Amino acid sequence: METGAPETATGTCAVASARAAPPGLRLRERCLGLLSLDLRSLAVFRIGLGLLLLSDLSVRASDLVAHYTDAGVLPRADVPASFASSVYLLHGSWWFQVGLFGVAALFALALLVGLHTRLATFVSCFLLVSLHARNPVVLDGGDVLLRLLLFWGIFLPLGACFSLDRARSRGPAPGPRVVSVATAALLFQVCFVYWFSVLLKSDPIWRSEGTALYYALNVDQFVTPLGRRLLDYPDLLRLLTFGTLALEAAGPALLFLPVCSGPVRTLVVFIFVLFHVLGLGLVLELGHFPYSCAVTWLALLPTWFWDRLRHRVRPGRPPPPAAESGAAPTAREAKLPVTTPGWMNALAGFFLAYVFLWNVRTLDFDRFQTVFPQRLNWIGEGFGLGQKWDMFAPYPLMEDGWYVVVGTLEDGRQVDLFQGGRPVHWAKPELVSATYKNTRWRKYLTNLWQKDYTAHRLLYARYLCRDWNSRHGGGERVVRVEVYFMLEVTRPNYESPTIRKVLLCEFPCSPSGSGEQP
C-alpha cells in the first residue's frame, strides 16, 4: 500500500535516525508528521486485533446454538431483511456455524502472527461483518468499533513489523513510520468516537447538572460492585462527569498538537487506555468495548515513545534528536512513504468522508438526511461502517431492572427459567449484573426491554421452551413461559426508585416441546 514500506514485518524494525527538524519546517511536512503512524505501533495494534477476535469468538462460541442457529433465539427466517446478507445465514445448523467459527479463528490467528496479513485482515473483517449481521440483537459498541478497526486495517501496513511476513521477507527493513490517507482515517475515526459522543451528550445532566455518572452507576444491569461503591461519593461523581466530558472533547484534539507532539501524544494514549480499562472497565460491565478502545489507542503510539523505550532497553544508544524534542521531522529525513497508490488513497478518502457524514447525520437525522440520504446506507451496512457513538447519550438509561422468567411445568410447579430452574423469587438480586451469563446475553436482554425489539420477546420465550424441554421430560416439561421485567426507574437525588412488574410476553409451549405455538 505504501511506497517504501512493504507489507512484511519482522521481529525488529529499522529505526531511522532523524536530525532535529529545521526551524523553517514547512507546514505540509509538519502535518504529514502528525498524520503518520509508527509501524511498531501498528504491529501492536494488529496483535491486539487478533487477540480481540479470538476472545470474542470464544465468548460467542459458548452460546453458538442459542445465538446463531435455527434452534436459537433468532432463527434465519426471523432475521430482519436489512441484515440478511451474511454467510452465517446460508445454513442454520450447529455444525455449519462451528465450521465458520473455525475459519474465522484461523484467520484471526493469522492476523495475530502477521501471516499474509492483508488477506487475513480482509477476511477477518468480512467474516466479522457477516457474523454481526447474523444476530444484531447481541451487538454493542465494542462490536462496532472492532469491525471499524479491521476495516481501516485493510488499508494499513499491519504486517510490516513484528510479523511472520517480515521474518519471511529478504528485503530491507522499512522505515519506522507510514503516512497515507488511511493513517489519517484511523486517527480521525478515533476522534469521531469521542467528539460525536460529546455532541450527543446534550442533556443537562451532562452539561450543567453533572449527574450523568450517578445515573449510569444506577444501571444495575451493568454496574460492578466497585461502581456501586462510588455512589457513596456524589461530589466525586459530579467531578468525574464533567471530567469525562472534557477528556472526550479535548483529549483527541491533543493528537494534532504541533509542539512536543511525541511526549504529548504518548501521554494522551496512556491516559485513554487507563480511562477505558481501569476507569470504565472496573465500574461497568461493558464487554470488550474498553479493550477495543485500548487497542485502538495503542496504534497511535508515536515514534518518540519507541525511541525512548529503545534507549531504556539499550542505554548505550541515545535516542535521535528528533525523538528528544518531539518535533515532527521532514518527510525526507524521517523516510516517510508519503506517496501511496492513488486508487488506495482515493478509496480510503471516500470512506473517510462517508463515515464523517454518517456521524454528522446521527446528530439530527431529519436535518441532515437531505445532505446524506438514507438510500446511501447500503454502503455503510455492506462494509460495516455504520456507527453511532451514543453510549450514555444524550443521557444514561433511567429505566433499569431485572428479569424473572416464569416457567409452568406439566406437574403444576413454577420455576424461574432465567435462573436455571430455581424457585421463582421476585426480589431484586444482590448484584443484577452478575445474573447474566456473559456480555452477549446482557446486551440481548437489555435490548429485549427496548421498544424496537418487541418482536424478539416471543422468539426468546419460544427458544426457552425448546431449550428447557430438550433437557427435561415427564412432569418437568414446561408448558407455559411468562417473561417478566421488574422495571426499576432511577430517581434523582438518591430518592428510592419505583419498581413495577411488567409482563413482556407469555407463550404456551407446544405438546411436542418444539417451542412452536400449538
> What pLDDT does 396 receive?
81
Q: By the 8 A CB rule, do 194 and 255 touch?
A: no
Residues 319 and 404 placed together within one structural domain of the fold:
no
**Model confidence at 518: pLDDT above 50:** no
- The string of pLDDT tens digits covering residues 11-25 is 344 443 344 445 545
**Model confidence at 326: pLDDT above 60:** no
In a domain, 392, yes or no: no
Summarize the confidence of residues 361-380 as an average pLDDT. 91
**Model confidence at 6: pLDDT above 60:** no
**Model confidence at 82: pLDDT above 80:** no
> Which of 477, 513, 447 minimizes the C-alpha distance to 74?
447
pLDDT-based confidence at residue 183 (cuts at 50, 70, 90): very high
Residues 378 and 404 placed together within one structural domain of the fold:
no
pLDDT-based confidence at residue 74 (cuts at 50, 70, 90): very high
> What pLDDT does 215 receive?
94
> What pLDDT does 259 receive?
85
Q: To 10 degrees, the CA torsion angle through 172, 176, 181, 185? A: 130
In a domain, 1, yes or no: no
Residues 374 and 420 placed together within one structural domain of the fold:
no
Summarize the confidence of residues 7-11 as an average pLDDT. 40
Terminal Cα distance for the chain, rounded:
59
**Model confidence at 182: pLDDT above 50:** yes
Distance of alpha carbon 122 from alpha carbon 152, whole angstroms: 10
Amino acid at residue number 361 = R
Q: How many domains does the chain have?
A: 2
For the ranges 17-31, 136-150, 249-263, 491-505, which has the lowest average pLDDT? 17-31
pLDDT-based confidence at residue 264 (cuts at 50, 70, 90): very high
Between 275 and 2, where is the model more confident?
275
> What pLDDT does 239 receive?
96
Residues 125 and 226 placed together within one structural domain of the fold:
yes
> What pLDDT does 21 receive?
46
For the ranges 27-41, 289-303, 447-461, 504-518, which has the lowest average pLDDT? 504-518
Residues 341 and 420 placed together within one structural domain of the fold:
no
Query: Which range is most confident: 119-123, 391-395, 397-401?
Result: 119-123
Q: Count Cβ atoms below 10 Å from residue 217 Cβ, excluding itself.
A: 23
End residue of a domain, out of 327, 357, 383: 383
- The mean pLDDT of the chain is 87
- What pTM, to 2 d.p., does this model score? 0.88
pLDDT-based confidence at residue 516 (cuts at 50, 70, 90): low
Distance of alpha carbon 53 from alpha carbon 126, whole angstroms: 13
What is the SS3 assignment for 180-200? Answer: CHHHHHHHHHHHHHHHHHHHH
Residues 290 and 177 placed together within one structural domain of the fold:
yes
In a domain, 13, yes or no: no
- The string of pLDDT tens digits covering residues 107-156 is 999 999 999 999 999 999 999 999 999 999 999 999 999 999 999 999 99
> What pLDDT does 508 receive?
94
> What pLDDT does 393 receive?
86
End residue of a domain, out of 383, 414, 442: 383
pLDDT-based confidence at residue 333 (cuts at 50, 70, 90): very low
Residues 403 and 286 placed together within one structural domain of the fold:
no
Residues 366 and 403 placed together within one structural domain of the fold:
no
Q: By the 8 A CB rule, do 327 and 21 touch?
A: yes
Residues 237 and 341 placed together within one structural domain of the fold:
yes
DSSP string, 441-453: HHHHHHHHHSGGG
Amino acid at residue number 254 = L
Residues 205 and 340 placed together within one structural domain of the fold:
yes
> What pLDDT does 459 receive?
96
Summarize the confidence of residues 164-192 as an average pLDDT. 88
End residue of a domain, out of 329, 356, 383: 383
Q: Which residues lie closer than 8 Å to 423 by C-beta, 6 or more apart?
A: 415, 416
Summarize the confidence of residues 158-178 as an average pLDDT. 84
Residues 348 and 432 placed together within one structural domain of the fold:
no
Q: Count Cβ atoms below 10 Å from residue 321 Cβ, excluding itself.
A: 14
> What pLDDT does 316 receive?
62
Summarize the confidence of residues 42-68 as an average pLDDT. 96
In a domain, 174, yes or no: yes
**Model confidence at 339: pLDDT above 70:** no
In a domain, 86, yes or no: yes
In a domain, 9, yes or no: no
Distance of alpha carbon 162 from alpha carbon 107, whole angstroms: 17
Domain residues for 430?
399-508
In a domain, 19, yes or no: no
> What pLDDT does 22 receive?
53
Residues 113 and 164 placed together within one structural domain of the fold:
yes
In a domain, 20, yes or no: no
Between 211 and 83, where is the model more confident?
211
Q: By the 8 A CB rule, do 336 and 32 touch?
A: yes
**Model confidence at 84: pLDDT above 70:** no
